[in-house]
Amino acid sequence: MPTNTPIDQLFINTRAENRAALIAYIPAGFPSQSGCHKVIEALAKAGVDAIEIGYPYSDPVMDGPTIQAAATQALENGTGVTEVFTALKHASDQGVAAVVMTYWNPIERYGVAKFAQAISDNGGSGVITPDLTIEESAEWRSAVTASGINPIYVVAPSTKPDRLIKVTEQCGGFIYAASLMGVTGARSGISSDAGDLVARIREVTDKPVSVGLGVSNREQAKEVAAFADGVIVGSAFIKAIQEAPDEASGLAAVAHLASELALGVREAR
């Protein structure tokens, strides 16, 4: 998969610096359209390396209550495909690598080839598709190849060894390792499954591996960054916004958390 997207370049750079990349997740249109853009700016300024724009969806099977509530709010704010691409472009314009995370249904509804091309046109590196299996990916694979973006698949602790080889072969940009069985959400501790899963992935590929699900503070970021190429944080940022009394406090909380996590990933090795 010889692409050279911003996310491909990011992992070349972070590996040369001997550190993990910090990847932040924010749903498009949350807490509002303009608020989302301000959050993106705050994240980029505070040291986040890449931003994952969530496509708010009414039936988010992989998402925990924090992200579900944010997605519902985003949908109530009128967020659709146009707003997702606008947020993606805004992230890319800040000089960070940017990807979209979406369930398959919105891609199919928009038009598979058209969606992949729009990602590229708006500066995006690729798409994380948590509910798309490699067996059902033929149309998507040809679309991402044509538009030069990365197809990012999710593997879990339950993924069997032979399947791990098949899925990682088809990943581009990075492999998304879900660190535990279950839905997204900030947790008090990192599952030991995360390290085991990354070790298993390393046995079959040298592609970058990013760990998502559960990281919420500097210490946890440091812990995951010791063995992974990327640390993905979502629910903790959303919670910081949800618990803030107003927009300015929410942005300050996001910036503080991002700078702490950025220190965490740099302290790990």
Q: Which residues are catalytic?
A: 52, 63
Cα 185 to chain centroid, rounded: 13
Q: How far is CA 206 from CA 59, 176, 258, in A?
A: 34, 13, 28
Q: Cα(167)–Cα(189) distance, rounded to whole angstroms?
A: 27
User: For the chain, first and last CA: distance in Å?
Assistant: 29
Hunting for tokens 């499954």 — which residue is that? 193
Residue 243 CB coordination number (10 Å): 10
Q: How far is CA 167 from CA 79, 153, 172, in A?
A: 31, 7, 10
SS3 10: helix
